[in-house]
Amino acid sequence: MNTGSTLLRLSGAAMVVALASHVMTAQAPRRPAILLKGGHVIDARNGVNGIMDVAIADGKISAVGANLTAPADARVVDVRGLYVTPGLIDIHAHVFWGTDNTQYSNGPSSVPPDGHSFRAGQTTLVDAGGAGWRNFPLFKTQVIDRSRTRVLAFLNIAGHGMRGGPWEQDLGDMDAKLTAQRARQFRDQVVGVKVAHYEGPQWDPVTRAVEAGRQADIPVMIDFGGNEPPQSLDALLNTHLRPGDIFTHMYAHVRGRTPVVNAQGQVEPYVIAAQKRGVVFDVGHGGGSFLFRQAIPATRQGFWPDVISTDLHIGSMNSGMKDILNVMSKFLNLGMSLQDVVKANTARAAAVIKRTDLGHLGVGAEADVAVLALRKGEYGFVDSSGWKMPGTQKLECELTIKGGQVVWDLNGRSHADWTEDTAR
Amino acid sequence: MTRGAVLATLALLLGVPAPSFAQAPPYSLLLKGGHVVDPRNGVDAVVDVAIADGKVAAIESSIDPARAARVADVTGLYVVPGLIDLHAHVYLGTAPDSYLSDGDVGAHADSHSFRAGQTTLVDAGGPGWRNVDHFRSSVVNRSRTRILAFINIAGHGMAGGPLEQDLGDMDAKLTAQRILANRDLIVGVKVAHYIGPEWDPVTRAVEAGRQGGVPVMIDFGRNEPPQSLDDLLNRHLRPGDILTHAYAHVSARTPIVNPQGQVEPYVVAARRRGVIFDVGHGGGSFLFRQAIPATRQGFWPDVISTDLHTGSMNAGMMDLLNVMSKMLNLGMPLADTIRASTTRPAEIVRRPELGHLGVGAEADVAVLALRQGEFGFVDSSGWRLGGSRKLECEMTVKGGQVVWDLNGRSHTLWDAR
């Protein structure tokens, strides 16, 4: 079965409807079985790291093993020489796009998810605090319900979300109880609570977010800093945050926030201690939050990220960040193993947001899959200060499958070859 | 970021005074060692490109790197004018059920443009005369991409359903008035999705185009039996008007390649008299079954465009470079694919200041790698065609600013000291 012959058999009426809506009928909601043949499967959660076939039926993973036999109706996709991983999860993105002048909260600083996700192997994006308890329902109807990407959310502790200016400084709009109630109301989408951009010096946004997180049993993610002198990073990491809470922008060095690598070039011992006690360190690359000056000494000392994420928004997407694969490739070239890089964006990311149904390829799991090529050559990677690091490896997304549907296929691997006979 | 800016930023971060730079070099950016393809100016050679004050300042061999604040080694790459996509849909908005006119079927311009070497996107009929002001404020003014537009002959624009069928809302005079009042933005008139059988949308669009001094672009067909393509191309359209979806085969539109596998003689005749044929790939409008026989018979597109929207961006279309690569692998020479997405669309929308790299031109530049390998390309019926070459965007410069730099070629190596 292939999409070509399926489409050719469509009636004229169906064709008109398809064209009128400009939607490809080849991706109609039937889900043929797929067999991904001969790829190198990396599934950290299930301890798989080797050449295996992956079979998909009814939108779920139906088998993983060597030399699987294809069911009669399966589309067999040759993925030899490629890596087959769970669909990538980006725990820090900004996709609450809209047309108001409200920055990341229904505003123009956020981007529609589907133009970025699938082409980079991502099947799940987590919006990091765009919406607060007041406007989460709008975010859900406007973005979550209308995107093909799975969109989850950290709810901002500020009720109006990441709206910019004084809206994000208003302690009177940061309510732990209401935030927790909204999180519980939308359990399927809300996976955490976000604190960001607060200029301090009060700790209230953090303590209220942690309280909301406690009430709703979800982690908090902190984008820290903004006060002069900086509030104590040690106190944040080791006094306020719980194991499982997330510190994002880990390799940033911005005013009003103590960096993890100190002036002597050493990772602060209390930062290592925090990671040891279970605080999660997230890259959150963004437009201004990833410096080689931090990341290179830190990783040389063994301080690697728990999670690799983009902080996708209009200011990062066309700069040194680009997409999750570019950020993952940076870490590959810094010396992180491919297995660890993939784990950070799949099994680990899923565990951090307590969505262990995602980020793995166990039999019965939702068939969210990325097929990645590891290109070899001369590449360059740019940080937030504009410095470049050379590299020899770079990931490229060949194929993305979400819920058993092919949603990206760079080189048409899941398609049948055109022949002269096709024309007749 | 320039080396100076990097140092200044670092200095700021470290709390030390920024170093001063006594004499700024004359060029802000030098693209060194690339193969320049600039069809309008007849350049097809390895030559350096220097940029100053947002304009192309010099095209010469061996420009001294010391004369530029920032130098990008582009040896082995193609340096071409910033690509122009004649057919995109970027009137993205949150109005319910509004399709490509302030609805969410449109794409987010800056998310797609620069990473594919595009500096100019032309929205193909999203807004009509009623909402073009809103289009300007909500999309054009908020995008870094240069956005131009074909204004829809339907006053509400491409809003879907009956709004695109209402002959009472298709007014040549009002449309022309909007064109004349928005010359910086509106470059043509669009007719699309009209079910027919009336010719009024076409005749009114042509009349609006005549009054406004701009071409029309036609997305034809929807009536059963199909209206005459010969009549459209050879009686209604003027030289310079555009038929988009050239290689489509959809019911209710006569394809250009007939059942005998031949390009219809009246199609060839229409091209000869100056009608423009645009790819407009989209989600459903590019079939190898049409494109392969047509191009074998020498019927190549005048313009290569995407028809970018949410239904095409993740399908066989993907982006403009993928569509150009398709044509390349069908046998179109590289220089012709570049011409069809730079100089030619600039001429067609009567913006000849764009789409070339002459000295003094706006410094919109794309630096492209031509990858060699085993690639595949998918058409709108889902058929795959293998290919050995594929374009990748290394750098995009708009108005002299680097807006995309895949491998950091314009950046300085990090130094631990």
First to last CA, chain B: 19
Q: Which chain A residue is nearest to residue B409, measuring alpha carbons?
A: A380
If phi > 0 it is left, if psi is from -120 to 50 it is alpha, else beta; for residue B264 that is beta
Q: How confident is the model at residue B316 (pLDDT cuts 50, 70, 90)?
A: very high
Q: Tokens representing B339?
A: 């011409």
**Contact status, residue A321 vs residue A310, Cβ threshold 8 Å:** yes
Strand pairing partners for A129?
Answer: none
Q: Tokens representing B217?
A: 């672009």
Chosen for mutation from A411, A413, A414, A422 (greatest number of chain B CBs closer than 10 Å) is: A411
Q: Tokens representing A94?
A: 């900004």
Alpha-carbon gap, residue B311 to B318, rounded angstroms: 10
Among residues B170, B177, B176, the alpha carbon closest in space to that of B199 is found at B170
- Could you give the 3-state DSSP secondary structure of residue A334? helix
Dihedral angle, C-alpha A240, A241, A243, A245, nearest 10 °: 170
Alpha-carbon gap, residue B10 to A200, rounded angstroms: 24
Closest to A112 (Cβ–Cβ): which among B92, B283, B404?
Answer: B92
Sign of the Cα pseudo-torsion (B90, B385, A392, A43, in order): positive
Alpha-carbon gap, residue B159 to B175, rounded angstroms: 16
**Contact status, residue A327 vs residue A120, Cβ threshold 8 Å:** no
Alpha-carbon gap, residue B208 to B150, rounded angstroms: 12
Among residues B309, B353, B397, the alpha carbon closest in space to that of B187 is found at B353
Q: Does B381 contact A26 at a Cβ distance shorter than 8 Å?
A: yes
Among residues B121, B97, B95, the alpha carbon closest in space to that of B109 is found at B121
Q: Does A111 contact B111 at a Cβ distance shorter than 8 Å?
A: yes
Q: Tokens representing A315?
A: 């200011």
User: What is chain A's length?
Assistant: 424
Sign of the Cα pseudo-torsion (A100, A103, A109, A115, in order): negative
Q: Does A418 contact B383 at a Cβ distance shorter than 8 Å?
A: yes
**pLDDT top residue among B416 and B81:** B81
**Contact status, residue B173 vs residue B155, Cβ threshold 8 Å:** no
ipTM of the complex: 0.93
pLDDT computed for residue A23 by the predictor:
36
Q: Where are the alpha helices (DSSP H) in B188-308?
A: 200-212, 229-231, 265-272, 288-296
Give me the phi and psi of A167, to 5 degrees please: -55, -35
Alpha-carbon gap, residue A208 to A179, rounded angstroms: 9
Shortest Cα distance, chain A CAs vs residue B5, angstroms: 9
Helix A292-300 vs helix A324-334: crossing angle, to nearest 10: 50
Each residue's pLDDT tens digit, B327-383? 999 999 999 999 999 999 999 999 999 999 999 999 999 999 999 999 999 999 999
Decide if B370 touches A, using CB distance below 8 A. Answer: no
- Could you give the 3-state DSSP secondary structure of residue A403? coil
Alpha-carbon gap, residue A327 to B14, rounded angstroms: 25
Among residues A209, A386, A323, the alpha carbon closest in space to that of B70 is found at A386
Chosen for mutation from B158, B414, B415, B417 (greatest number of chain A CBs closer than 10 Å) is: B414
Shortest Cα distance, chain B CAs vs residue A25, angstroms: 8
Q: How confident is the model at residue B262 (pLDDT cuts 50, 70, 90)?
A: very high
Shortest Cα distance, chain B CAs vs residue A371, angstroms: 15
Instruction: Quote the Cα angle for B198-B203-B205, to 5°.
Output: 115
Chosen for mutation from B407, B410, B412 (greatest number of chain A CBs closer than 10 Å) is: B407
- What mean pLDDT is predicted for residues B311-326? 98
Chosen for mutation from A148, A334, A393, A415 (greatest number of chain B CBs closer than 10 Å) is: A415
Burial class from Cβ neighbours inside 10 Å (0-12, 13-18, 19+) for residue A376 reads: exposed
Residues of A in contact with B318 (CB under 8 A): 119, 410
Q: Does B111 contact A112 at a Cβ distance shorter than 8 Å?
A: yes
Chosen for mutation from B314, B394, B402 (greatest number of chain A CBs closer than 10 Å) is: B314
- Could you give the 3-state DSSP secondary structure of residue B381? coil
Q: Does B381 contact A383 at a Cβ distance shorter than 8 Å?
A: no
**Contact status, residue B413 vs residue A380, Cβ threshold 8 Å:** no
Residues of A in contact with B110 (CB under 8 A): 314, 317-318
- Token pair 């079910």: residue: B195
Q: How confident is the model at residue B416 (pLDDT cuts 50, 70, 90)?
A: low
Alpha-carbon gap, residue B136 to A274, rounded angstroms: 49
Contacts of B205 by beta carbon, 8 Å cutoff, 6+ apart: B153, B170, B172, B175, B189, B190, B191, B216, B218
Residues of B in contact with A388 (CB under 8 A): 408, 411-414
pLDDT computed for residue A31 by the predictor:
63
Q: A382 to each of A339, A375, A393, B14, B62, how far by Cα in Å?
A: 23, 18, 14, 20, 27
Q: A245 to each of A129, A225, A241, A280, B270, how far by Cα in Å?
A: 15, 16, 6, 6, 66
Instruction: Quote the Cα angle for B23-B24-B25, to 5°.
Output: 115
- Beta-sheet pairing, A369-382 with B118-128: unpaired
pLDDT computed for residue B50 by the predictor:
98
pLDDT computed for residue B285 by the predictor:
96
Q: List, as one string, the DSSP characters of A78-121.
A: E-TTSEEEEPEEEEEE---B-SSS-TTSSBTTS--GGGTSGGGT
The amino acid sitting at A137 is P
Count of Cβ atoms closer than 10 Å to residue B401 Cβ: 14
- Could you give the 3-state DSSP secondary structure of residue B293? helix
Q: Does B378 contact A254 at a Cβ distance shorter than 8 Å?
A: no
Q: Which chain B residue is nearest to residue A19, measuring alpha carbons?
A: B284
Q: B170 to each of A37, A74, B174, B175, B205, how far by Cα in Å?
A: 54, 49, 9, 8, 8
Among residues A130, A138, A120, A47, the alpha carbon closest in space to that of A402 is found at A120
pLDDT computed for residue A32 by the predictor:
72
pLDDT digits (tens), chain A, 424 positions: 333 333 333 333 333 333 333 333 344 445 679 999 999 999 999 999 999 999 999 999 999 999 999 888 899 999 999 999 999 999 999 999 999 989 999 999 999 999 999 999 999 999 999 999 999 999 999 999 999 999 999 999 999 999 999 999 999 999 999 999 999 999 999 999 999 999 989 999 999 999 999 999 999 999 998 898 999 999 999 999 999 999 999 999 998 999 999 999 999 999 999 999 999 999 999 999 999 999 999 999 999 999 999 999 999 999 999 999 999 999 999 999 999 999 999 999 999 999 999 999 999 999 999 999 999 999 999 999 999 999 999 999 999 999 999 999 999 999 999 998 765 4
Shortest Cα distance, chain A CAs vs residue B111, angstroms: 7
Give me the phi and psi of B23, to 5 degrees please: -125, 115
The amino acid sitting at A393 is Q
Closest to B411 (Cβ–Cβ): which among A146, A388, A408?
Answer: A388
Q: Which chain B residue is nearest to residue A2, measuring alpha carbons?
A: B382
Please indicate, yes or no, whether the overall pTM of this predicted structure exceeds 0.90: yes
pLDDT computed for residue B68 by the predictor:
98
Q: Tokens representing A129?
A: 């605090």
Each residue's pLDDT tens digit, B193-245? 999 899 999 999 999 999 999 999 999 988 989 999 999 999 999 999 999 99
Residues of A in contact with B309 (CB under 8 A): 22
pLDDT computed for residue B12 by the predictor:
45
pLDDT computed for residue A421 by the predictor:
73
Residues of B in contact with A254 (CB under 8 A): 13
pLDDT computed for residue A17 by the predictor:
35
- Distance of alpha carbon A35 from its chain centroid, rounded? 25
pLDDT computed for residue B417 by the predictor:
55
Q: At B160, which helix (H) or strand (E)?
A: none
Which chain B residues in 26-85 lie under 8 Å from chain A, judged by CB atoms?
Answer: none
Q: Does B284 contact A25 at a Cβ distance shorter than 8 Å?
A: yes
Q: At B8, which helix (H) or strand (E)?
A: helix B3-14
Sheet containing strand A190-196, strands side by side: A88-93, A122-132, A150-156, A190-196, A220-223, A246-247, A280-281
Q: Does B312 contact A22 at a Cβ distance shorter than 8 Å?
A: yes
Q: Does A422 contact B289 at a Cβ distance shorter than 8 Å?
A: yes
Residue B167 pLDDT > 60: yes
Q: How confident is the model at residue B14 (pLDDT cuts 50, 70, 90)?
A: very low
**Contact status, residue A190 vs residue A183, Cβ threshold 8 Å:** yes
User: What is chain B's length?
Assistant: 417
- Token pair 């009177």: residue: A172
**Contact status, residue B56 vs residue B40, Cβ threshold 8 Å:** no
Shortest Cα distance, chain A CAs vs residue B138, angstroms: 7
